[in-house]
Amino acid sequence: MTSPRVTVLAGGVGGARLAHGFALAGVPLDVVVNVGDDTELHGLWISPDLDTVLYTLAGLNDEERGWGLRGESYATLAQLAVLGEDTWFTLGDKDLATHVARTARLRAGLPLSAVTAQLAASLGVTARLLPVTDDPVATVLDTPSGRLAFQEYFVRRHHADAVLGITYEGIDAARPAPGVLDAVGGADVLVLAPSNPFLSLLPVLGVAGVRDAVERTSARRVAVSPIVGGQAIKGPAAQILETLGHDVSALGVARLYTGLVDVMVIDDADAALAPAIEDLGFDVVVTDTVMGGPDGRERLARELLAV
């Protein structure tokens, strides 16, 4: 029996961990990643979600912190501060190499998808890592303090502002990167990672043709709820669901994915929500969705393959 082809739609940490689980399970894997959090800092093009997935699949990520590389030093950043640069976005010395190389290659005319494939190959990643688009998309948050660029909101202001609305600038003009629609259409299992729906997955689904490909694929479509017991495992998903008027629960997430997904995977803590989610037309799997380290990731990935 051949392994099922798996495609994961992913944001940062949650997507990276689940994708890593599939990689550890040894299945052919495509990961389509959000670029709405990309930003330019110090003249360098930074793709935080792509890098989190890249470093995690390469086994080089800092597990404790959830982002960046293990064993980092910060000599360049400290000197950038001496030179008067704004250094609220932490950039390690090794991590900087990714941004320097990516920026140089983008400026030389390569599309982000080609640069990403090069970086993944250099780090020994065999899964196919795809930015959802080679075109610029910028997630912008409306808050009581005004409109904030994504990293301004997320890193500089520690996602403390209430999110009253979200715009994905450029998304109407963005075309899917080469391979993205095929990865969605040709998968046996399509997984919406336990990433933030608003900050990670909607800007993936919003790129022309992606939502349509998800709706039409013959793959078994599975979403893992990022909300467990009314809280996000990481990040501001719970606050954003609330301020945008959604149920802060796996049920609220399921409503967002109606028509896109066949199976909702929810945590044991949320077992009581299963009937209501089934009423929306989903199959529901109740399991331990909190992945923790590599063992937990592979376990969850294998459970999803068995769905």
Q: Which stretch binds a second copy (CB under 8 A): 114-122, 137-145, 153-161, 170-178?
A: 114-122
Closer CB to a second copy, residue 40 or residue 278?
40
Does 272 help bind a second copy (rule: CB under 8 A)? no
Minimum CB–partner distance for residue 87 and a second copy (Å): 10
Minimum CB–partner distance for residue 110 and a second copy (Å): 12
Residues in the chain: 307
Closer CB to a second copy, residue 18 or residue 115?
115
What stretches of 229-292 adopt beta strand conformation (E)? Answer: 231-232, 263-267, 283-287
Residue selected from 119, 191, 277, 301 as contacting a second copy according to rule CB under 8 A: 119
Residue selected from 42, 159, 220, 297 as contacting a second copy according to rule CB under 8 A: 42
Angle at 291 between CA 16 and CA 299, to 5 degrees: 100
Residues 83-112 that bind a second copy (CB under 8 A): 83-85, 92-94, 96-98, 100-101, 103-105, 107-108
Minimum CB–partner distance for residue 151 and a second copy (Å): 16
- Look up residue 221 and give its DSSP letter: E
Closer CB to a second copy, residue 128 or residue 175?
128
Contact predicate 8/49, CB 8 Å: no
Q: Which residues of 223-235 are buried (b: 16+ CB within 10 A; e: fewer)?
A: bbbbbbeeebbeb
Does 44 help bind a second copy (rule: CB under 8 A)? yes
Closer CB to a second copy, residue 103 or residue 167?
103
Does 114 help bind a second copy (rule: CB under 8 A)? no
Q: What are phi and psi of 233, to 5 degrees?
A: -60, -35
Q: How many residues in the shown chain lie near a second copy by CB under 8 A?
A: 32
Beta bridge partners of 146: 143
Q: What are phi and psi of 7, to 5 degrees?
A: -120, 130
Q: Which stretch binds a second copy (CB under 8 A): 27-35, 118-126, 175-183, 195-203?
A: 118-126
What stretches of the chain adopt beta strand conformation (E)? Answer: 6-10, 29-33, 39-41, 44-46, 128-131, 138-143, 146-149, 165-169, 189-192, 220-224, 227-228, 231-232, 263-267, 283-287
Minimum CB–partner distance for residue 21 and a second copy (Å): 25
Residues 1-20 that bind a second copy (CB under 8 A): none
Does 80 help bind a second copy (rule: CB under 8 A)? yes
Phi-psi map region of 37: left, alpha, beta (phi>0 left; psi -120 to 50 alpha): alpha
Minimum CB–partner distance for residue 76 and a second copy (Å): 5
Look at residue 226 and give its three-state secondary structure: coil
Minimum CB–partner distance for residue 47 and a second copy (Å): 14
Contact predicate 266/282, CB 8 Å: no
Closer CB to a second copy, residue 67 or residue 282?
67
Does 306 help bind a second copy (rule: CB under 8 A)? no
Output the CA–CA distances (angstroms, integers) from residue 173 to 107, 183, 274, in the order listed: 20, 21, 38
Binding residues for a second copy, rule: CB under 8 A, are 42-44, 72-73, 75-80, 82-85, 92-94, 96-98, 100-101, 103-105, 107-108, 118-119, 122-123
